[in-house]
Structure 1
Amino acid sequence: MRSPRSKRFGECAHCGPTTTACRAWARSAGPSGSVWAAARRPSPCARRRRCGPAPPSAPWPRWWKTGPSAVPTRSASCAGARRPSKNSMAGLLDLWKRFGAGVGLEIRGEDLLAVAIKSRPAGVTVLGSLRIEGFREIPAAEWGRRYQAFLNEHALGHLAATVCLPRKELVVRQLRLPPMPEKERAAAVRYQLDGLHPYGDVEVCFAHAALGETGKDRPTTMAVAIAPREKVDAWADLFQEAGVAVSAFTVSEATLYAALRMRPEAPKQPLLAVDAESDALLIYGESAARPLLTAEFPLRSAPPSRVLQLVLSDLRVAPDAAVGLAVFGPEASAAAEELAQTSPALEPRAVEELFPAPLAAPEEFRLREDLRGLAVALEAACPGVGWRANLLPVERRSKDSRWRLAPTAALLFLLLLLGAGFLIRPWIQDGAYAEALQQRIAKYEETVALVRNAKMSAEDAQRKLEILRGLGRRTQRDLEIFSELSEKLPNSAWLTQLQIGDEGVQLNGEAQAAADLLKTLNESGRLEKARFTTSLRKLETGEGFQIAAERRAPTAPAAPAGPGGAPAAANPQPSPAQPPAAQAPAPAAPEAAQPAGAEPAAAPAAEEAQ
């Protein structure tokens, strides 16, 4: 919740400079014009409790380097709510939606009220207002000339007006749609249209808008405005006869919805806005459970207190929740006090607390009485903020004059030229620099090619040398494995086949106890993970086996310590070569068990190793 502005610049709007540190900070904050310096250095309580004056980000985003020398800050209370940043893309889009100028026409009984405004992110300025009393009895051409003179006085003759139709001539309904894509909502509303209005088979004009957050994965609450086509055509013919260019026919609910969202902060829900007329109450409400509540109660049917009790029950708020109540309209002064005493849950609020108060307005304009006319003008100036609900048929809508966009288009064109120049200049400079570099590179291409060829030849020779060294080391390691097998295998085992590969060895043969060979191989210095690849075969002289084992990763020997404890710098000498495996005696096998024509076990292994 945003607290009211402090009386003294630098004070925390919630707790004030109550401590010594805060009072010292308030004295050092300087005069009220030193906004930018003081905003950068928050008070001690602001650093401790996240309150105090917020940086003056509006109406200028922080990345704008220029701004007025003195801008009143907005204080943030200790409740923790913060003003939305204008640096984000969503904030910039929201600022852009608040630019515009428009003219709104409100039909209230026998009078026609025209309000012309100019909207900016800093606020709304009412340029002028014109009230035509009894316009229904005056020839259309006569009051049309008065209206045109009013537009020319404020240099707004190029604008088409937005007209708020009388609430008694239309209905506004709320429709709940299941999750669906946005492009299918219009068809869903049209499908249920006949059950939303009481006009029977009469041709109608309707417009719809989504309320709150929307998405194809969540239900959507739609507001649907419906009016008989006959009434819409009658009003369109009347304004055409008067020579008034009209771009849209809207409804009062849409205008109030747009006006509530023209303030920098979101509207404080739940709320009720009551338009008090002499014979009826027009009520607009919002809450978390009820995005839209609209009703019209004639005073002859029920007293105002009873009307508000019914509305509060329909608003679906918690019993202890406070509901903001703002009363406006011609009879607002007489009805406000009586309506506020209806229920203790009602919290009277000034119109300026919920709706944007004009920065400047003519003397004849009164915000409380003419709020609906201001809301219509706001929707005309900033259509992106409201519903964009238009009951006027497309073929009868007038467009704003495009000449009003000529200055903006010219400035935008110049800005695009400057931007294109800033974008193209680095490319031109980079192209010239690249061309100069290419000329320098061409001078040294031949030398670079020779160096590259020499480097490639050296790398090729080094690669071949590594291959030869690897082959030499491979032969030595194979002989070491062969020699170790000759030493480790018991005399009761003899081999019929020995295969030495890159990953390990495979032994085929016979032994009296083949299971003991696995332990022998795992305890060797060059083999590990020995396992049987097939099941053992029972033979007359023992067991037939087939064993596979992997090479053990070689471990580098520790370098001997040099003088003073430093490791020796010399390369470690290779371990002495084992005696050739071909010279190791092969384990003898019993003559009776050796089949005829079989060779000694060592001979096939030696041939395989060679």
Structure 2
Amino acid sequence: MGVGIEIRDTDLDITVARVRPHGAEVTAHGAITRFRERKATDWGSEYAAFLKKHGVSHLTAAVTLPRREVVVRSLAMPGIAGKDLPGAIGFQLDGLHPFGDADVASAWTRVGAASGGGLLLGVALRSVLEKYVELFSEAGVAVSSFTFPASAIHGAIRLFQTPPAGFLACRTHDTGEIEIYGESPAKPVFFAEFDLPLERAVALAAAELRLPAETESLPMERILPVPRANPAGNDPSRNALSYAAALTCACPRLAATANLLPEGRRSSHSRAMLVPAAALSALALVLAVVWFVSAAFEQKRYLKTLEGEIAKVEPEARKSGALDREIEKTAGRVRAIREFRDQVRKDLSALDELSRILPASSFAGSVEISRDAALITGDSDSAAPLLEVLDASPEFRNSEFASVTRVANTDVFRIRTLREAARK
């Protein structure tokens, strides 16, 4: 979308246009009256409210300067490379305007066949341009371009199709003057205002363009893209210039114009400027999704391959597991046999030690041996010393009487003792 503003004698004519591949639409039209007599902040607020009402506050504007304040020249510079054009134009600029030694601002755009090197040049007093720049800045109007009528029309009519080789178009200005725009093979661009009857003005323009005298002029709005939608009350014939400026503002690369505003002072608040970044972000997102899906697919395929390989070796793995379990069982049996053998040896050692240390006056009738203790039952002339005898042995410790009874001068005893072998 774009906003076009035509500076008229007393008013500002404003058009908001949307451009789509299938055509253009005028979404809003308005006017600010007597802007030269009012404070810039006053009519600037009115302009801001107009944009806000139509939801386009983010858009910048292309402004067309009055024709009488810009000198327009068509230049033919065949054979000059693009990088050399600024220098070539600057070299002869002083002879292309009537402002003498005054400081001027100039801008140009290519017209006609690229091989012919045709240029459309606009020259304005820098003081005049600065006056408008400061005025619009004070009003808070974001401006991306200050151009002139011929350049705006030339860019707009080429937005959707190539115009005919030779034609004339006209409109009646608010002042009553006739504005005529034309193109021909002899002169790529022509734009002028005539304070003459229409027939006489058309004849002079046709002669300037080297067109046949019988060439008829078209209404100005007929050469511009026909809007697919147009708000009620908008007169295309009267507001053709702001419409052309809006089209060039909406598509500055497809409808190039000569921009007198220095590049560093141009506003670019349009959301359209975000399209490349948005497109790149969308592309990055698509690539990320593709990568994620591809990675998931590759992982799934890898897992499937891995499962196939596992299935191949699984029978052997089961055999190996069964063999490991059998080995573990056998090892357990071997350990049990070894432990039993060691325990038997320890038990026999305890019995041998007991038979060695018991005094001759003592008799062990039975011995119950476990891994960590022994219960000795017997009789003795005197059982009391037996506890010390047992604890002095390396095989026994913590001996104590479970019971002791004196029968016919003989002690019948039961001694419980712990085995030292249980600690080892």
TM-score (norm 2): 0.65
| Counterparts of 1:431 and 1:188, CA distance in 2 | 64
Q: Secondary structure at the match of 2:146?
A: strand
| Counterparts of 1:119 and 1:185, CA distance in 2 | 31
1:366 to 235, 241, 258: 235
What's the counterpart of residue 260 of structure 1? Answer: 157
| Counterparts of 2:65 and 2:281, CA distance in 1 | 40
2:177 to 271, 276, 280: 280
| Counterparts of 1:407 and 1:383, CA distance in 2 | 14
| Counterparts of 1:105 and 1:395, CA distance in 2 | 21
What's the counterpart of residue 119 of structure 2? Answer: 222
The farther-off stretch of 265-274 and 310-319 is 310-319
Amino acid of the structure 2 residue aligned with 1:312:
A
Q: Secondary structure at the match of 1:192?
A: helix
Q: Is the 8 A contact 2:150 2:190 kept in 1?
A: no
What's the counterpart of residue 119 of structure 1? Answer: 19
What's the counterpart of residue 326 of structure 1? Answer: 218
| Counterparts of 2:262 and 2:250, CA distance in 1 | 20
Q: Is the 8 A contact 2:74 2:187 kept in 1?
A: no
Residue 178 and residue 423 in structure 1: after superposition, are their counterparts in 2 closer, same or farther (change >3 A)?
A: farther
Q: Deviations over 1:218-238 (max 9, x none)?
A: 441111100000100111111
| Counterparts of 1:389 and 1:416, CA distance in 2 | 35
1:198 to 98, 103, 111: 98
Structure of greater Rg: 2
Query: Is 1:385 aligned to residue 254 of structure 2?
Result: yes
Q: Is the 8 A contact 1:248 1:392 kept in 2?
A: yes
Residue 257 and residue 410 in structure 1: after superposition, are their counterparts in 2 closer, same or farther (change >3 A)?
A: closer
Residue 269 and residue 427 in structure 1: after superposition, are their counterparts in 2 closer, same or farther (change >3 A)?
A: farther
2:285 to 388, 392, 417: 417
What's the counterpart of residue 111 of structure 2? Answer: 211
Q: Is the 8 A contact 2:15 2:243 kept in 1?
A: yes
What's the counterpart of residue 296 of structure 1? Answer: 193
Superposition pairs of residues 67-466 of structure 1, within 5 angstroms:
101-214=1-114, 218-263=115-160, 265-277=161-173, 278-299=175-196, 303-317=197-211, 323=215, 325-328=217-220, 351-352=221-222, 354-400=223-269, 409-410=277-278, 412-422=280-290
Q: Is the 8 A contact 2:62 2:144 kept in 1?
A: yes
Residue 212 and residue 427 in structure 1: after superposition, are their counterparts in 2 closer, same or farther (change >3 A)?
A: farther
Residue 423 and residue 313 in structure 1: after superposition, are their counterparts in 2 closer, same or farther (change >3 A)?
A: farther
Amino acid of the structure 1 residue aligned with 2:225:
P
Q: Is the 8 A contact 1:210 1:223 kept in 2?
A: yes
| Counterparts of 1:190 and 1:406, CA distance in 2 | 34
Q: Secondary structure at the match of 2:234?
A: coil
Q: Secondary structure at the match of 1:369?
A: coil
| Counterparts of 1:195 and 1:406, CA distance in 2 | 41
Q: Is the 8 A contact 1:357 1:367 kept in 2?
A: no
Percent identity over the alignment is 37
Amino acid of the structure 2 residue aligned with 1:235:
Y
Q: Is the 8 A contact 1:269 1:324 kept in 2?
A: no
- How much does 1:431 deviate? 11
- How much does 1:156 deviate? 1.3
Q: Is the 8 A contact 1:103 1:380 kept in 2?
A: yes
- How much does 1:429 deviate? 6.9
- How much does 1:423 deviate? 6.8
- How much does 1:392 deviate? 1.4
Superposition pairs of residues 559-570 of structure 1, within 5 angstroms:
none
- How much does 1:252 deviate? 0.3
- How much does 1:432 deviate? 10
Q: Is the 8 A contact 1:123 1:356 kept in 2?
A: yes
Residue 387 and residue 393 in structure 1: after superposition, are their counterparts in 2 closer, same or farther (change >3 A)?
A: same
| Counterparts of 1:323 and 1:270, CA distance in 2 | 9
What's the counterpart of residue 388 of structure 2? Answer: none
Residue 226 and residue 431 in structure 1: after superposition, are their counterparts in 2 closer, same or farther (change >3 A)?
A: farther
- How much does 1:314 deviate? 1.8
Residue 390 and residue 422 in structure 1: after superposition, are their counterparts in 2 closer, same or farther (change >3 A)?
A: same
- How much does 1:174 deviate? 0.7
Q: Is the 8 A contact 1:276 1:327 kept in 2?
A: no
Unaligned runs of 5+ in 2: 310-424
Q: Deviations over 1:121-141 (max 9, x none)?
A: 111121211111211112211
Q: Secondary structure at the match of 2:28?
A: strand
Answer 1 or 2: higher relative contact order, Cα 8 Å, separation at least 6: 2
Q: Is the 8 A contact 2:157 2:163 kept in 1?
A: yes
Amino acid of the structure 1 residue aligned with 2:137:
Q
Unaligned runs of 5+ in 1: 1-100, 329-350, 441-610
- How much does 1:198 deviate? 0.6
- How much does 1:379 deviate? 1.0
- How much does 1:173 deviate? 0.1
| Counterparts of 1:170 and 1:219, CA distance in 2 | 24
Q: Deviations over 1:437-472 (max 9, x none)?
A: xxx9xxxxxxxxxxxxxxxxxxxxxxxxxxxxxxxx
- How much does 1:317 deviate? 3.2
* Greater share of strand: 2
Q: Secondary structure at the match of 2:58?
A: coil
What's the counterpart of residue 520 of structure 1? Answer: none
Amino acid of the structure 2 residue aligned with 1:165:
L
Q: Secondary structure at the match of 1:359?
A: coil
Q: Is the 8 A contact 2:106 2:123 kept in 1?
A: yes
Residue 406 and residue 172 in structure 1: after superposition, are their counterparts in 2 closer, same or farther (change >3 A)?
A: closer
- How much does 1:212 deviate? 2.5
